[in-house]
Chains A and B, each alone.
Chain A
Amino acid sequence: MVQTMSKITSVSGPGLPLLGNDIDTDRIIPARFLRCVTFDGLGENVFADDRAQNNGTHPFDQPQYQAAKILVVNSNFGCGSSREHAPQSIMRWGISAIIGESFAEIFLGNCVAIGMPCVTATPDIVSQLQTLVATSPDIQLTLDLATQTIASDGFNAAVTLKEGNRQMFLNGTWDACGQLLHQSEQIKETAARLPYISWGKA
């Protein structure tokens, strides 16, 4: 009944630079692709409108980034709608971790819940990393959650993530469901303490 979760201690692979602040989840996956009852097939529609407008020059279309595992973004990435379809589409395209200056709150929570670490770095480090990946798309990056570093040949920089989220990746409890259910008695006790549970019809 309780899933055995995999620990995520590091992510390695080539990077993909995506420049711009305030990239919202409507852009990541336009609303028309939310007309579905599974997440299958979302990967091919990630950034569908931006890619169509860029005629093959969008980073997600450029041949040199097709093997990318680590997305490098700027600030407030994933703002707007809470749609988990957004991180699902990024992950199903092939990305396993995101490094950025900052992330929108709900997007970040969704990424944790699906096992895709989002870590932050200073604007300067993000900019260096975006340049590095653009000039050497094949370079292998390693994001290490234990040491909170992003490194490759000749590059090593600090990244951060909230300690609670870091522990969830390292301990393999990023899919919280099983762990939450361990406390079923305490959950019922908490409910019993709340006066509104017995009020009204609901």
Chain B
Amino acid sequence: MSKGTLFDKVWDLHTVTTLPSGQTQLFIGLHLIHEVTSPQAFAMLRDRNLQVMFPERTVATVDHIVPTDNQARPFADSLAEDMMVALETNTKTNSIRFFNVGSGHQGIVHVIAPEQGLTQPGMTIACGDSHTSTHGAFGAISFGIGTSQVRDVLASQTLSLEKLNVRRIEVNGTLAPGVYAKDVILHIIRTLGAKGGAGYAYEYAGSTIAAMSMEERMTLCNMSIEGGARCGYVNPDQITYDYLKGREFAPQGDQFDQAITWWQSLRSEADAEYDDVVIFDAQDIPPTVTWGISPDQAIGVDESVPTLTSFNTAEQPLIQEAYSYMDLAPGKPMLGTPVDVCFIGSCTNGRLSDLREAAKVAQGRHVAQGIKAFVVSGSEQVKQQAEAEGLDQIFLEAGFEWREPGCSMCLAMNPDKLQGRQISASSSNRNFKGRQGSASGRTLLMSPAMVALAAINGQVSDVRSLL
């Protein structure tokens, strides 16, 4: 087992007891909830006559089902409206802070908690959403849970869990121009596989990670789960502290200095022991796109769809399923693959720096004819900041739609969906069959800049061609 890592320290500090089963009862410092995975949990509490033990440690927002065009209430979708009402009622009844639409703080749960300073180093963070791994960017131990576990956290602020192993993933060197955090994580998943991280927390380290902004680190940690790792994190450093300083829920004044001392003490020791170590060279990472139906089916944008024989026999049935579903033949170059819809947004890449990079590509150019392209900010705050910088105008002039914040077409629970066999270039995180709202719809994952360029050219393109 690992020793002396941030994961070990934070785990130990939050351990309430060892349960008779041998599992750890772990205290959860911050619980985030949203409309999709919480209503049944509140119903279970009511059935059992249980109260919320620490209402001030849970924060709610609404993100998955909100329309990104007309947000007038009641929502056109009555089922979405029911979920909205349930969340409004449950948060009110249980005195839980709720960032509703129009509050100025609403947005994708994994975007708003960091931007409000709720997410802090050394915390344990749980949310009924697999992309909770995002918050690990701050040196928090954060992971997704299901609805019964949401109930457990509401009732007891704790969970029954088995400790994870820790794999250190070191990335060293300078990323080439046109290569982003999204490419780094897609490359890691491509190399270690979609189930390579099962049983592990990923500690991202090395000079490439140390040089990343907080938003880049969030993109990286966000997709840990696509690599099978329930949790991913980066040790906190000056970049973390500078990001947090002055944010609404961050410690203020003298407390902030005390906090830094504590946060520093949680960093993995230089002689920490890991269950596994994997090292990458930043120079080996190209702008990366997925070609298939699993996030590890990814290649450099200038590569061709891999041949069947490059995979082992156990993997081959899924690879064949991917060729057929995507209608992409082995050996076919990804460059030039026509796309129909281009989506910029999601908890992976819906933050201000993502929109800036996409806007740089869009500026002075125009979306190709017949392509639907839209930009969905990760939060109301991101949208306001982007508008203050004029990014909305750049996108609108280039022919992109500029939408209200939410999860949108990442998982298409709201009206934003692919139609039929449409193929999307998407800055989101999953290329699963049917993921984006059409049972036969297809998804190519890539960085926001590459999505913007795909929209301009109407086909998969290499962002390095603009450099």
Contact = CB atoms under 8 A, between A and B. Distances in A.
B411 A26 contact: yes
Given A22-B294, A35-B413, A105-B230, A164 B29 contact: no
A146 interface: no
A162 B318 CA distance: 27
Chain B interface extent, by class = 35 or more
Interface in A178-199: 179-181, 183-184, 186-187, 190-191, 193-197, 199
Chain A interface extent, by class = 35 or more
A30 B430 CA distance: 13
B461 interface: no
B20 A200 contact: no
Nearest to B14: A190
Contacts of B37: 82-84
A13 B412 CA distance: 37
A26 B432 contact: yes
B195 A102 contact: yes
Do most interface residues of chain B lie in helix, strand or loop, or is the interface mixed?
Answer: loop
Report the 8 A-B pairs with minimum CB-CB distance, sorted nearest first. Answer: A84-B146, A110-B146, A113-B148, A35-B79, A82-B144, A49-B439, A199-B251, A37-B39
B21 to A, nearest CB: 4
Interface of B: 13-17, 19-23, 25, 27, 29-30, 36-37, 39-40, 43, 48-50, 53-54, 56-57, 59, 64-65, 77, 79-80, 82-83, 86, 97, 117-118, 120, 122-123, 128-130, 132, 143-149, 151-152, 155-162, 194-195, 198-199, 225, 228, 230, 248-252, 255, 258-259, 262, 294, 314-315, 317-318, 321, 411-413, 430, 432-435, 437, 439-440
A84 B97 CA distance: 24
A180 B158 contact: yes
A88 to B, nearest CB: 8
A22 B318 contact: yes
Contact of A1 (B50, B132, B160): B50
Nearest to B49: A1
27 contacts: A3-B48, A19-B317, A21-B317, A22-B294, A22-B318, A24-B294, A35-B79, A36-B82, A37-B83, A49-B433, A75-B195, A76-B228, A80-B430, A81-B411, A84-B148, A105-B199, A105-B228, A110-B148, A164-B19, A164-B21, A171-B20, A176-B159, A180-B156, A196-B29, A200-B249, A200-B255, A201-B248
A62 interface: no
Nearest to A110: B146
Contacts of B25: 180, 183, 187
B155 A180 contact: yes
A182 B157 CA distance: 12
B413 A199 contact: no
Interface of A: 1, 3, 19-22, 24, 26-27, 30-32, 34-39, 49, 52-53, 75-76, 79-85, 87, 102, 104-106, 109-110, 113-114, 123, 162-165, 167-168, 171, 173, 175-177, 179-181, 183-184, 186-187, 190-191, 193-197, 199-202
A27 B435 CA distance: 8
B156 A106 contact: no
A186 B37 CA distance: 28
Given A105-B230, A195-B259, 19 more contacts: A27-B433, A37-B39, A37-B40, A37-B86, A82-B128, A82-B144, A84-B40, A106-B230, A109-B145, A113-B148, A113-B152, A123-B314, A168-B23, A171-B20, A176-B160, A180-B159, A196-B29, A199-B255, A202-B59
Nearest to A108: B198
